[in-house]
């Protein structure tokens, strides 16, 4: 340990901290109690001050113990207030946070007036300064992190049940109060050992960011915990390397542009910014849950829906005379679909580019290829309608599980199965296998008078 350079020591400390804070934080993020971490960090201050006033700053462990007790007290007050009064949890968190912290500030200025008082040692806790960490700090940090890690892994199953459904956990006879206390206690410990590195305000980031970022990449709690630990460790180590200028040295350039001025950057904020960068990357680029992938699939879905609605409308408007593929007025299409003239024209232009329709002034006509596609789409639509009718309960389950399973996205397999089922029950008209007649009786009678001869 002593043989290592300062940077190496700090690196070990910050990555361990990031790792365990990420794991403990995952649970609170999932339980929608992310800002309890923020509260704990702030609430530790008066504990630190009182411990300092009592035992001085020679015993790091004593200071941390004071902070820990203050954190527990804050948790207790929070629980009491939210359980017994009409004050909601958010307000209660805010009040406990600010009152405890203000008490800390008050005590700090008392300390400043004490003879031989030296609040420099304490102000590292406020803003965090990893480079001022002592060997003792790192030792404490490592031990605490490892213990917390072991606790979280040992209680993985229990915490999982408890986080997901506390009522169920209680009904199964798990000691939920104990589990809650273990989870929050672990969080408190982790928060407090992290204070000297990132400071009071930014500790919340180390707790929240890894879990929230990991959530984007997976739907499994186990994977999420591992990922958040990795992201936390990466955040810690990248931040440390960046703030010490090491990263810039290795890469030949400075990825965040922070140290080029030759001014040493405080470790805490740099770590948090690294975390924010990883988080932002996850938000944007994660598959499925990421914003870009969501937006793309939404646009695709909308385009597909519009295209198929157009084909279906054209099919239905041509249905009385399919062989001839009669020309259809633009107005007739717009009357059946609430499209703006602009949108209708754009859709038709796209359709004619695909060779589905021919356009002549204000009239369109399905091409043979377009007719085939339109028939297919209409068939799927009508099958889906029947599916809903035949098995409404199954259908809604189906839609819940996979959001994309509306008519436009029925897979060929499903279609086959459906068709077979419907044919078996005699619901699929034999004479016109390709397009079953719409079972949507209402549509015919009320809103499609134009189909009548």
Partner 1 sequence: MHSNLETQFAVGTPAEADSPPPVEIHDMTVAYHRKPVLWDIDLVVPEGKLVGIVGPNGAGKTTLIKAVLGLVPLASGKVEIYGRPYRRQRHLVGYVPQRESVDWDFPVSVLDVVTMGTYGRLGWCRRPGKSERELAQDCLQQVGMEALADRQIRQLSGGQQQRVFLARALAQSAQIYFMDEPFAGVDAATEKAIINLLKELRAQRKTVLVVHHDLQTVQQYFDHVILLNMRLIACGPTETAFTAENLNTTYGGRLTILDKAAEAVRLGDRPR
Partner 2 sequence: MTTIAEWLAQLDDQTRTTLWIFTVGSLTNVSCGLIGCFLVLRRMSLLGDALAHAVLPGLAVAFLLSGSLGIGYMFVGALAAGLLTTLLTQALHKHGGVPADASMGVVFTSLFALGVILIRRFASQVHIDTECVLEGLLDYVGLNTIPVAGLELPRQFLSIAPVFLLNVAFILLFWKELKISSFDPALSTTMSIPAGLMHYVLMALVALTAVASFEAVGSILVIAMLIAPGATAHLLCDRLGRMLWVAAGVGVISAIAGRLLAVQFDTNTAGMMAVVAGACFALAVVLSPRYGLASKMIRNARTSLRIFSEDLLGMLYRLEELAVQRSLGRGEAVQAVGGGLLAHWELSRLIRRGYVVSTADGVRLTEQGRRHARGLVRSHRLWEAYLVEHLGLPHDHVHAPAERMEHYIDERLAREISERLSDTEVDPHGRDIPAD
Question: Between 299 and 318, how does the x/- string for binding to partner 1 read (CB under 8 A)?
Answer: --xx--xx--x---------
**Which entry of partner 2, partner 1, none binds 113, CB below 5 to 8 A by partner kind?**
partner 2
Q: At 282, list the tokens.
A: 């996850």
Dihedral sign (CA 176, 182, 188, 190): negative
In terms of Cβ atoms closer than 10 Å to its own Cβ (0-12, 13-18, 19+), residue 360 is exposed
396 binds partner 2 (CB under 8 A): no
How far is 281 from 307, CA to CA, in rounded Å? 33
94 binds partner 1 (CB under 8 A): no
Stretch that binds partner 2, among 11-19, 206-214, 333-341, 409-417 (CB under 8 A): 206-214
Q: Which residues contact 269 (CB under 8 A, 6 or more apart)?
A: 202
* Neighbour order of strands in the sheet with 328-329: 328-329, 363-366, 357-360
**Which entry of partner 2, partner 1, none binds 98, CB below 5 to 8 A by partner kind?**
partner 2
Out of 9, 215, 307, 381, point to the residue binding partner 2 (CB under 8 A): 215
Site for partner 2 in 285-344 (CB under 8 A): 289, 291, 294
Residue whose CB is less far from partner 2, 109 or 425:
109
Phi, psi of 360 (to 5 degrees): -140, 110
Structure-derived torsion over alpha carbons of residues 409, 215, 178, 146, reported in degrees to the nearest 10: 140
User: Three-state SS for 364?
Assistant: strand
18 binds partner 2 (CB under 8 A): no
User: Three-state SS for 402?
Assistant: coil
CB atoms within 10 A of CB 88: 10
User: Three-state SS for 358?
Assistant: strand
393 binds partner 1 (CB under 8 A): yes
Out of 111, 226, 335, 427, point to the residue binding partner 1 (CB under 8 A): 335
209 binds partner 2 (CB under 8 A): yes
**Which entry of partner 2, partner 1, none binds 95, CB below 5 to 8 A by partner kind?**
partner 2
450 binds partner 1 (CB under 8 A): yes
Q: Which residues bind partner 2 (CB under 8 A)?
A: 29, 32-35, 37-38, 80-81, 84-88, 90-95, 97-110, 113, 123, 126-127, 201-202, 204-205, 207-209, 211-212, 215-216, 258, 261, 263, 265-266, 268-270, 272-273, 275-276, 279, 283, 289, 291, 294
């Amino acid at each position: 340990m002593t043989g290592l350079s300062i940077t190496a020591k700090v690196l070990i400390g910050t990555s361990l901290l990031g790792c365990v804070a990420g794991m403990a934080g995952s649970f609170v993020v999932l339980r929608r109690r992310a800002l309890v971490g923020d509260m704990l960090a702030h609430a530790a201050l008066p504990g630190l001050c009182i411990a300092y006033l009592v035992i001085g700053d020679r015993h790091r462990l004593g200071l941390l113990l004071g902070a820990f007790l203050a954190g527990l007290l804050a948790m207790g007050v929070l629980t009491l207030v939210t359980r017994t009064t009409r004050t909601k949890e958010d307000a209660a968190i805010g009040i406990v946070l600010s009152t405890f912290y203000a008490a800390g500030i008050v005590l700090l200025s008392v300390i400043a007036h004490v003879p031989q008082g030296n609040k420099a040692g304490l102000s590292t806790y406020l803003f965090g300064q990893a480079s001022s960490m002592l060997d003792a700090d790192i030792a404490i940090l490592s031990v605490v992190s490892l213990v917390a890690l072991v606790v979280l892994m040992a209680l993985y199953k229990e915490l999982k049940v408890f986080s997901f459904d506390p009522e169920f956990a209680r009904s199964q006879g798990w000691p939920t109060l104990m589990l809650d206390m273990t989870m929050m206690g672990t969080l408190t410990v982790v928060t407090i050992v992290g204070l000297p590195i990132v400071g009071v305000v930014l500790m919340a980031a180390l707790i929240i960011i890894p879990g929230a970022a990991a959530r984007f990449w997976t739907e499994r709690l186990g994977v999420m915990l591992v990922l958040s630990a990795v992201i936390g460790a990466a955040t810690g180590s990248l931040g440390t390397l960046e703030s010490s200028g090491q990263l810039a040295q290795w890469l030949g350039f400075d990825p965040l542009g922070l140290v080029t001025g030759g001014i040493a950057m405080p470790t805490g904020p740099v770590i948090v910014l690294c975390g924010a960068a990883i988080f932002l990357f996850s938000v944007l680029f994660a598959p499925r849950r990421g914003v870009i992938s969501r937006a793309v699939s939404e646009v695709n879905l909308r385009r597909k829906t519009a295209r198929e609605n157009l084909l279906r409308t054209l099919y239905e408007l041509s249905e009385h005379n399919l062989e001839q593929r009669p020309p259809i007025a633009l107005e007739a299409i717009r009357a059946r679909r609430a499209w703006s003239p602009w949108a209708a024209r754009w859709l038709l232009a796209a359709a004619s580019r695909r060779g589905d329709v021919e356009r002549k002034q204000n009239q369109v006509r399905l091409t043979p290829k377009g007719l085939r596609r339109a028939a297919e789409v209409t068939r799927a639509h009508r099958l889906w309608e029947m599916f809903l009718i035949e098995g409404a309960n199954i259908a809604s389950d189906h839609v819940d599980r996979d959001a994309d399973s509306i008519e436009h996205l029925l897979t060929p397999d499903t279609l086959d199965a459906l068709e077979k089922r419907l044919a078996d029950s005699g619901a699929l008209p034999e004479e016109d296998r390709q397009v079953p007649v719409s079972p949507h009786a209402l549509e015919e009678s009320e809103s499609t008078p134009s189909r009548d001869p």
